Amino acid sequence: MKKLSTFIVALSLILGMAQCKKQETHATPQNTEGNLVHLTVKVGNGSKVDVDPSTGIVSFSDSDKLYVGYNNACVGTLEYSASTNKFSGDLSLLQNGDQPLHFYYLGGEVTHVGETQQYIVDIYEQQFNPYPVISYGTSTTNYSESSTTYSSTLENQCALVEFTTNMILKETNFYIQGINNQVAIDFENNTITTTNTTGNISLYPETPTSRWAILLPNEEPVTVNVYAVGYIEKNITIPPVKKNDYLHGENAVSFELTAMDADTPLTMMMMAPEGTICVINPPEGMQYEKFEYIGDNNYNSYGKQAIPSDEENNIFRIEVNQDDKVSFYGDGTSITDYSNTHIVSTNHTELHGNIMSLVDEYNFATATSMERASFAGLFSGDGFPGGTFIINASGLLLPATELVDRCYASMFYQCGTLQNVTCLATTINGTDCTTNWLYEVNNPGTFTKAKGASCWTTGPSGIPSGWTVNEY
């Protein structure tokens, strides 16, 4: 397992820099005004902090900042200039002491939550700000006004990890969901720790078949979701990673993705060991097709069949095991109203495919007009407890661009485990078309909308508060 490069930085009053090649250069304070001392750090080619994923080596960029801590507070920053190959800035070094200087490179978004005592660093955004390395080191000697040189070895506090897939990826956003993405920098106690808050990390598209990310250390394997616009969400396990790890090639985290295709009919898949998929009040002519999982991503199909309309309590039950799936169709184009119908389950399931297969049996792949269609309450259960067992609808395609009266009203009402929804509507004018459609769903979650769509409000009748919003 290859390590990311450790890099060395040195300050002096005269100020020095010890490179990885052990060469040393010096810079002298330019001026002192009151308690501010202007310092310059010269950086050699061997001392780097942003990552080249082909080697794991890292490099500084213009305006990068080195945060300096002393006497239980942040005393200032030094800013890098590529033209001079130096860090420089004013530091508030008040007095001699028996403490070393502390140096932090903070590649993520920095929030000064405790003024000079505590900062929060968020590494969520990596698609456009790739590889936000966080590094830390202390001076080898304590600060003294009479000292001429301060040296420190900065060590990476993160790991660089490659994620590879089975297919050429679309140019789209990819996210890891449910992983630590923040650290707290405590200048008062000279510590750098994870905040134990979980959220998303976007992945950087390094190659057509791989995404890369800086991850915080985790001592045990962690199960997360990989979510991508245009693909069905996937659970994967990330192995333990340590500070300064560099996982790539044969050590990369590999996973397979299924594209969310418009030509796949509305489908419910069982994620638990066993359960029952139920259709309550099916309209006459509604059809289903059961696929029995036999291993190695292969299925036995039972063929398309009409759903009986004379079942007890008008509930049609389909017994399924883990990874079995059931697809649903209308009868040609004769059925448009599903407002009294509910598709639910007795255990954890996920939804994918195109909902328009319910209103256009043969041409649903290109159908985008709702006309008189209504899917109100379709997955809510209407008091049936299975309605809460849908955990993922990231692969469910709702392609209609203009929503009509009550078309999606209460669609996922009280689906408390639901975490992902994709809706491509650009016009929401229909009366009650999305009223309470995401009422009491899981929080946080992820909502994917049509690119540039500005028609959505925040709340249970729009995009739930606290959900991450992506564009398709």
Angular region, 211: left φ>0, alpha ψ -120 to 50, beta rest: beta
Within 8 A by CB and 6+ apart from 83, the residues are none
The pLDDT, as a whole number, for residue 178 is 85
* CA separation for the pair 433, 408 (Å, rounded): 5
Q: How far is C-alpha 336 from the geometric centre of its chain's CA atoms?
A: 36
Is the pTM above the cut of 0.85?
A: no
* CA separation for the pair 123, 121 (Å, rounded): 7
Q: How far is C-alpha 303 from the geometric centre of its chain's CA atoms?
A: 38
For residue 421, how many other CB atoms are within 10 A of its CB?
A: 26
Structural contact between residues 379 and 343, judged by C-beta atoms closer than 8 angstroms: yes
The identity of residue 108, as a single letter, is G
The pLDDT, as a whole number, for residue 362 is 93
Which residue's structure tokens are 């390590």?
A: 3
* CA separation for the pair 472, 464 (Å, rounded): 18
User: Smallest Cα–Cα separation from 338: which of 349, 329, 347, 348?
Assistant: 329
- Residue 59: phi, psi to the nearest 5? -145, 150
Strand order in the sheet with 36-42: 7-12, 149-156, 134-142, 100-106, 65-70, 73-81, 86-92, 36-42, 32-33
Q: In this structure, what is the dihedral angle of CA atoms 335, 341, 347, 353, given to the nearest 10 degrees?
A: 30
Regions in the chain scoring below 50 on pLDDT: 1-34, 43-50
The pLDDT, as a whole number, for residue 401 is 86
The pLDDT, as a whole number, for residue 93 is 67
Q: Residue 337 has which token pair? A: 């109203």
DSSP of 360-401, one letter per residue? -TTTGGG----TT-B-TTTTT-TT-GGGGGEEEEEEEEE--S
* CA separation for the pair 19, 348 (Å, rounded): 55
Q: Residue 149 has which token pair? A: 């040189």
* CA separation for the pair 39, 89 (Å, rounded): 6
The pLDDT, as a whole number, for residue 44 is 39
The identity of residue 168, as a single letter, is I
Structural contact between residues 387 and 357, judged by C-beta atoms closer than 8 angstroms: no
The pLDDT, as a whole number, for residue 3 is 43
Write down the domain spans for the chain.
Answer: 2-255, 266-471
Label each residue of 13-30 as H, E or C. Answer: CCEEEECCCCCEEEECCC
Question: How does strand 446-449 pair with strand 420-423?
Answer: parallel
Structural contact between residues 254 and 165, judged by C-beta atoms closer than 8 angstroms: yes
The pLDDT, as a whole number, for residue 39 is 56
User: Smallest Cα–Cα separation from 176: which of 140, 223, 239, 144?
Assistant: 223
